[in-house]
Structure 1
Amino acid sequence: MKVLVTGGYGFIGSFVAERFFKEGYQVYIIDNLVSGNAENIDFPHKFYKINVESKKCEEVFKSNKFDVVVHLAAQVDVTTSMKSPVLDTRSNILGLSNILDLSTKYAVGKFIFASSAAVYGMNENTPLVEEESCEPLSPYGMNKWIGEMYCRKWNELYDLQTLCFRFSNVYGPRQGTVGEGGVVSIFIERMLDNQGITVYGDGHQTRDFIYVEDLADAVYRSVESDASGVMNLSSNTENSVNRLIEVLQTIQPIKSVQYREAKQGDIFRSSLDNSKIKRQLDWIPMYTLEEGLEKTYRWFADHKVKEVPKPKKPENFLLAYFKKLLPYLENALAFIVVIFLTVYVHNGKLYDLDDFDFSFFYIILMGIMYGSRQSIPAVFLSSIFYVSFGLMQGRDLISLLYDSESLAQIAVYVFVGIAIGYTVDRKNRAVNSYASQVQAIEERYEFLNEIFNDTRKVKEELQSQIINSSDSFGKIYTITKELDTLEPENIYSSAVGVLESIMKSDAISIYSVNKHGSFLRLSAKSKKDNFELPKSLRIADQPRIGQVIESKEVFINHELESNVAMLMAPIVDNGQVVALVSVHDMQYENFSLYHQNLFKVAIELITAALSKAYRFWSATMNERYVEGMTVLKEEAFGKVLETKRATKERLHIEYGLLMLDVNFIHQEEKLNLIQRSLRESDYLGLGKSGQLLALLANSSKGDTEIVRKRLAEQGVDSIICEEEVMYG
Structure 2
Amino acid sequence: MTGNTCFVTKAWVEMAFPEDHVLITCGRGQPHPPKLRAITLDNKERIGQLVDSYEFDRIVYFSEYLTPHSEQEGELDRLRRVLQANRDRESQLLYLAGPEAVLTPAIGKTVVAQAAEALCRHYAETSKVQIKVLHLPYLYGCDGTGAPAGIAGLLTRMRDGELHFDEQALAPVFALCMEDLSELVLRVFDNWTPEWESFTAPVVFALNYEQLGEAWKALHPGLKMTYGTDLIRTYPPDDGVLRCRYGWFPRYSLEDDLPRLFRTETHARHSRTWGQRLGGLRERHRHLLEAAEIVASFGFTELLVQLTGSQAQFRVVDFRLAFIVLAANVYGLNAGVAAALLASASLAVGYWEQGASPLLLFYEPSNWLAFLVYFVVGAVCGYVQLRSAENVRFAEEQCRLLEERLRFVRQLYQDTMEDKRSLRRQILGRRDSFGKVYAVTRALNETPPDKLPAKTVELLEDVFQNRSAAFYFVDAAGRTAKRAACSEGAEAPRFLEGPALAALVQTLEQEEVWVNRTLKPGLPMFGAAVRVDGKLRALVLLYDAGGEQLSLHYQNLFRILCGLVETAMTRAAQPLPEKRPRRQEVRA
TM-score range relative to shorter protein = 0.5 to 0.7
Give the percent of matched residue pairs that are identical in Structure 1 and Structure 2. 10
8 Å contact kept, 2:4–2:64: no
Determine whether 1:447 maps to 2:407.
yes
Correspondence 1:558 to 2:518: yes
**Structure 1 unpaired stretches of 5+:** 39-45, 124-134, 187-199, 243-262, 279-283, 615-639, 648-654, 656-681, 692-728
1:383/1:410 contact within 8 Å kept: yes
Q: 1:683 to 1:12 in 2, by over 3 A?
A: farther
Q: Report the equivalent of 2:386.
A: 425
- Within 5 Å, which residues of 2 pair with 1:102-251? 110-116=91-97, 118=99, 121-122=102-103, 139=109, 145-152=114-121, 159=127, 161-166=129-134, 215-222=184-191, 227-232=194-199
Does residue 65 in structure 1 map to residue 54 in structure 2?
Answer: yes
Contact 1:113 1:163 in 2 (8 A): yes
- Find the aligned partners of 2:62 and 2:55 in 1 and give their Cα distance: 17
Give the aligned partner of residue 37 of structure 2: 48
Task: For 2:518, give the aligned amino acid.
Answer: H
1:273 aligns with 2:164: no
Give distance in 2, aligned partners of 1:437 and 1:272.
52
Q: Residues 291-319 of structure 1, C-alpha deviation per residue, up to 9 Å, x if partnerless?
A: x689xx99x99xx9998996999988899
- Cα distance change of structure 1 residues 418 and 398 upon mapping to structure 2, 3 Å threshold: same
* Contact map agreement 1:371 1:424 (CA 8 A) in 2: yes
Amino acid aligned to 1:423? V
Inter-partner Cα distance in structure 2 for 1:307 and 1:360: 49
Contact 1:363 1:416 in 2 (8 A): yes
**Aligned residue among 336, 340, 357 for 1:375:** 336
Secondary structure of 1:462 counterpart: helix
Q: 1:71 touches 1:96 (CA, 8 Å); kept in 2?
A: no
1:283-302 equivalent positions in 2, closer than 5 A: 284-285=246-247
- One-letter amino acid matched to 1:424: Q
- Is 1:689 aligned with 2:566? no
Deviations 1:6-55 (A, max 9, x none): 88995898466446434xx44555679999997xxxxxxx7235666788
SS in 1 for 2:99: helix
Structure 1, residues 646-686: CA drift from partner, whole Å, max 9, x if none? x9xxxxxxx5xxxxxxxxxxxxxxxxxxxxxxxxxx54663
State which of 267, 292, 295 in structure 2 corresponds to 1:328.
295
Residue 595 of structure 1: how far off its partner (Å): 0.8
What one-letter code is carried by the residue in structure 1 that aligns with 2:197?
Answer: V
Mean CA deviation greater in 144-153 or 494-503: 494-503
Q: Distance in 2 between matches of 1:202 and 1:372?
A: 50
Distance in 2 of aligned mates of 1:117 and 1:392: 70
Instruction: Report if aligned partners of 1:69, 1:110 keep a CA contact under 8 Å in 2.
Output: yes
How many matched pairs?
A: 516
Give the match for residue 550 of structure 2: 595
Unmatched 5+ stretches in structure 2 = 156-168, 208-230, 446-451, 583-588
Residues 1:47 and 1:369: Cα distance change in structure 2 (over 3 Å): closer
CA distance in 2, matches of 1:534, 1:273: 41
How far apart are the structure 2 equivalents of 1:495 and 1:108? 43
The answer to whether the Cα contact below 8 Å between 1:110 and 1:161 also exists between their aligned partners in 2 is yes
Identify if the C-alpha distance between structure 1 residues 397 and 322 changes in structure 2 by more than 3 Å, giving closer, same or farther.
Answer: closer
**Contact (CA 8 Å) 1:6, 1:70: kept in 2 or not?**
no
User: Hey, what does 1:264 align to over in structure 2?
Assistant: 232
Amino acid at match of 2:429: K
Q: How does 1:336-351 map onto structure 2 within 5 Å?
A: 337=304, 344=310
**What letter is aligned with 1:451?**
Q
Cα 1:387–1:326 shift into 2, 3 Å: closer
- Which piece of structure 1 moves more, 405-414 or 165-174? 165-174
Mapped pair 1:401 → 2:401: no
* Secondary structure, aligned partner of 1:166: strand
SS of the residue corresponding to residue 334 of structure 1 reads: helix
Q: What's the offset of the Cα at 1:418?
A: 2.4
Which of structures 1 and 2 has the bigger CA Rg?
1
Aligned to 1:660: none
Whether the aligned pair in 2 keeps the contact of 1:8 and 1:73 (CA below 8 Å) is: yes
Match for 2:550: what amino acid? H
Q: TM (normalized to structure 1)?
A: 0.50
What do the CA deviations read for 1:394-441 (whole angstroms, capped 9, x no partner)? 666556534444456644544343233323332333244435544664
Matching residue of 1:250: none
Conserved 8 A contact 1:169-1:209: no
Q: Describe how 1:532-681 pairs up with structure 2 within 5 A.
A: 542=502, 545-546=505-506, 549-550=509-510, 556=516, 558=518, 560=520, 565-567=524-526, 584=541, 586-587=543-544, 590=545, 592=547, 595=550, 597-602=552-557, 643-644=568-569
Indicate which of 415, 419, 433 corresponds to 2:376.
415
CA RMSD of aligned residues (A): 6.7
Counterpart amino acid of residue 507 in structure 1? A
Verify the 8 A CA contact 1:169 1:208 in the aligned structure 2: no
CA distance in 2, matches of 1:428, 1:202: 48
CA 1:483–1:31 in 2, change beyond 3 Å: closer, same or farther?
same
Contact 2:478–2:536, Cα closer than 8 Å, also in 1: no
